[in-house]
Amino acid sequence: MNEISGATTAQGLRFGIVVSRFNELVTERLLAGAIDTLLRAGAGREDLTVVRVPGSFEIPQAAQLLAEAGRQDAIICLGALIKGETDHYDHLASTVAGAIAEVALKHALPVTFGVLTTATVEQALNRAGGKYGNKGVEAAQAAIELVHVRRALQS
């Protein structure tokens, strides 16, 4: 049996991080977690490109542009969709998730999903460094591992 799994070192790897400014109280915590994870894993600050976009709807477009530029080993998408009084959230959640997945598949590039979809701000904060961890950390860890899996499968 042949088994492939990804390493956890980010040394020498380049990462694009797309982060939404909307719900900044949450997204800045996701970003801090992702950056800290990448640096602790050996990435250099010069290997990180942070792209800020207005909201979660714009995340896939920025991820697409990063992928087309071809300078990143992986792209990490971070945002926070918090349910409000209208059905705007329902339309965005599935649209953003599908569009991010499409970028990954179109470019055969690791693109990770760190976009929270929660009912309340409290739930979002609990997933952005609160009692349920930090999904920015998890998205960064997944990106590192997927780069190594991709390289192993391509060699």
Segment 55-79, tens digit of pLDDT = 999 999 999 999 999 999 999 999 9
pLDDT tops 90 at residue 141: yes
Q: Which residue out of 88, 91, 107, 148 is catalytically annotated? A: 88
> 15-20 and 48-53: which strand pairing?
parallel
Q: Which long-range contacts (CB under 8 A, 24 or more apart) does 63-72 make?
A: 63/16, 63/18, 63/100, 63/103, 63/111, 64/103, 64/106, 66/16, 66/18, 67/103, 67/106, 67/107, 67/109, 67/111, 68/107, 71/14, 71/16, 72/14, 72/15, 72/16, 72/109
Is 88 labeled as catalytic in the residue annotation?
yes
Segment 5-22, tens digit of pLDDT = 888 999 999 999 999 999
Is the whole-model pTM more than 0.85? yes
